């Protein structure tokens, strides 16, 4: 089974702190994604990565950066956390297999910024 793990299920940080959210996948997928999910807004793509050291901005990259130094790991960085970044953060990896493209999601990290 594909497994996508995220470093924390719950995280509480203070405004202005630098926050690292880690995501690891064990299926050698080239593509990885970071989303945030907020009530009434669905999932919104923050950043995605085609492959190691490659990254592309999603729809809401402001206030975030990412790092992909190894194929299995994709990190989301909040340079200076703000209260409006309180949200559920979901990581996913993706692959193309037998004519279908599928994303596999981790369990999510619920981040609260106070």
Interface residue list for another protein (CB under 8 A): 4, 30-31, 35, 40-45, 48, 50, 56, 58-59, 90-92, 94-96, 99-108
- Phi-psi region at 40: left, alpha or beta (left = phi > 0; alpha = psi -120 to 50): left
Closest contact distance (angstroms) between CB of 53 and another protein is 16
Are 18 and 77 a contacting pair, CB within 8 Å? yes
In this complex, which beta carbon is closest to another protein, that of residue 91 or of residue 113? Answer: 91
Show Cβ contacts of residue 7 under 8 Å, excluding neighbours closer than 6 positions: 20, 21, 22, 23, 109
In this complex, which beta carbon is closest to another protein, that of residue 85 or of residue 89? Answer: 89
Closest contact distance (angstroms) between CB of 80 and another protein is 25
Of 22, 21, 30, the C-alpha closest to 48 is: 30
Closest contact distance (angstroms) between CB of 25 and another protein is 12
Q: Which residues pair with 31 in a beta bridge?
A: 94
In this complex, which beta carbon is closest to another protein, that of residue 13 or of residue 44? Answer: 44
In this complex, which beta carbon is closest to another protein, that of residue 67 or of residue 103? Answer: 103
């Amino acid at each position: 089974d594909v497994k996508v793990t995220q470093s924390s299920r719950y995280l509480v940080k203070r405004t202005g702190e630098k926050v690292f959210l880690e995501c690891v996948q064990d299926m050698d997928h080239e593509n990885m994604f970071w989303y945030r999910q907020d009530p009434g807004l669905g999932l919104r793509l923050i950043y995605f990565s085609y492959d190691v050291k490659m990254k592309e901005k999603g729809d809401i990259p402001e206030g975030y950066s990412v790092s992909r130094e190894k194929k299995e790991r994709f990190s989301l960085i909040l340079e200076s956390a703000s209260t409006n970044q309180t949200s559920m953060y979901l990581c996913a990896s993706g692959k193309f297999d037998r004519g279908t493209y599928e994303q596999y999601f981790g369990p999510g990290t619920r981040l609260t910024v106070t």
